[in-house]
Amino acid sequence: MGTTVFERRRPAASVVDHALQSTSFAVFWLDDVRRTEYPRIAGDVRADLAIVGGGYAGLWTAIRAKERDPGRRVVLLEASRVAWAASGRNGGFCEASLTHGHENGVNRWPKEIDRLEELGAENLDGIGDTVRRYGIDADFERTGQLAVAVEPHQVEWLREEEGFLDQDAVRAEVNSDTYLAGAWDRDGCALVHPAKLGLELARVATELGVEIYEHSRVRGVDGDGAGPIALQTDGGRVTAEAVALGTNVFPSLLTRNRLMTVPVYDYVLMTEPLTASQLADIGWSNRQGLADSANQFHYYRLSADNRILFGGYDAIYHFGGKVRPEYENRMPSHRRLAEHFFTTFPQLEGLRFTHRWAGAIDSSSRFCAFFGTARRGRVAYATGFTGLGVGAARFAADVMLDKLSGVATERTELRMVRERPIPFPPEPAASVGINLVRAAMNQADHNGGRRNLFLKALDAVGMGFDS
């Protein structure tokens, strides 16, 4: 196998040591907000709609439900704090795509892909409209996303994309001598402060009349759907005519979904704010989100105060599919990110990282959310966003509400919405298979992007993987 640019141009260990010397193991976004306290649930509560999960999926469902029917009593239950998990610690890329990119969508739903992309664009526009309508302070920037090629074979992949930039043009946008070409999607992505977005969605929901309860873990779902559904919590019982589940990476309350997603850990670094001189050295005046084009890719962007968030590459699955805090502290992954950062921007040597963290992604075998109902249509769910939840959660909220209404809509009739992905196998097969895929993707990145027979076989059965 060959080498990648990140191996050919590895920075000195002293550069990485200095950058990580005083880094806090904490989520920058969550350190950067002030929280509203919401009460624990106590006693028995009746609701028209109960929502489980206080991340983007649950919060958008609450807002969209009240916008459709302001008189509906909506109760949202969160096991911990609003937006504390993936919704408060992601990269803040709010993408229009509902299908994890055009290629994944056209391979799975070729007859629907044009409409799916229109719906995705409408959904992103709708997020922007909501931000303006309710005065949401979430550093929302519609700057688009720049895909960059850092190996010769990636140039040919990007040449087919709209907004193609040759080497000189891409380096005029962002100055890294690792860049060989790029493609700038100017409209398909916005950047947000993810924790601010989550907390602001909670604010809007409560102003619309939604009742939010934190530290109110749901332990079970009772009822066969012939009547109202009961949710058992540590502090009380919520009985509702309809229930929407937005638990995502955490174990599903429905047995049928236990093997439909796996938690994959993603790692992130945040720098100190760049000086004016450092910004001038790298350009980046148009503030796009960036991602390179490898199977194991990096994503990075500027914050409002001109820090650089740099994440991705490693995607770690732990045996048994558990979600545990100790999995977040993985120094080898953070050190590897720091090395790759200074390979990308050697002119920033001396810059320090202030924060390092990680989070679990609810990964499905088709790389995008899937949807369904249970208990005679009284319980709806959306899960498996595979890193696209920042934008797609609003679309998912509308799908769940459509399904709970019992009336068919354009959204509910989409094949993408009606079909379920292939489940993951139980352990130990899941761990063996996922790690084999990671090794095969790494091999492809070191072999001109060529996928081996194993990956091609997974592609053929609808379980092809892309980190």
Q: Is the pLDDT of residue 460 over 90?
A: no
The percent of residues in the chain predicted with pLDDT above 90, rounded, is 92
Q: CA-to-CA distance for 275 and 220, rounded, in angstroms?
A: 51
pLDDT band at 158 (very low <50, low <70, confident <90, very high): very high
pLDDT (mean) for 201-205 = 98
User: What average pLDDT is seen over the chain?
Assistant: 96
pLDDT band at 453 (very low <50, low <70, confident <90, very high): confident
Residue type, 324: R
What is the pLDDT, as a whole number, of residue 440? 87
What is the pLDDT, as a whole number, of residue 463? 67
What is the pLDDT, as a whole number, of residue 49? 98
pLDDT (mean) for 331-351 = 98
What is the pLDDT, as a whole number, of residue 426? 95
Q: Is the pLDDT of residue 462 over 80?
A: no
Residues 26-70 have pLDDT tens digits of 999 999 999 999 999 999 999 999 999 999 999 999 999 999 999
Which fold does the domain 43-132+193-260+366-418 belong to in CATH? FAD/NAD(P)-binding domain (3.50.50)
What is the pLDDT, as a whole number, of residue 467? 46
CATH tag for 5-27+145-185+262-361 (out of 1.10.3470.10, 3.40.50.1820, 1.10.10.10, 3.30.9.10) = 3.30.9.10
Query: Residue ranges per domain, the chain?
Result: 5-27+145-185+262-361, 43-132+193-260+366-418, 429-460
Residues 313-331 have pLDDT tens digits of 999 999 999 999 999 999 9
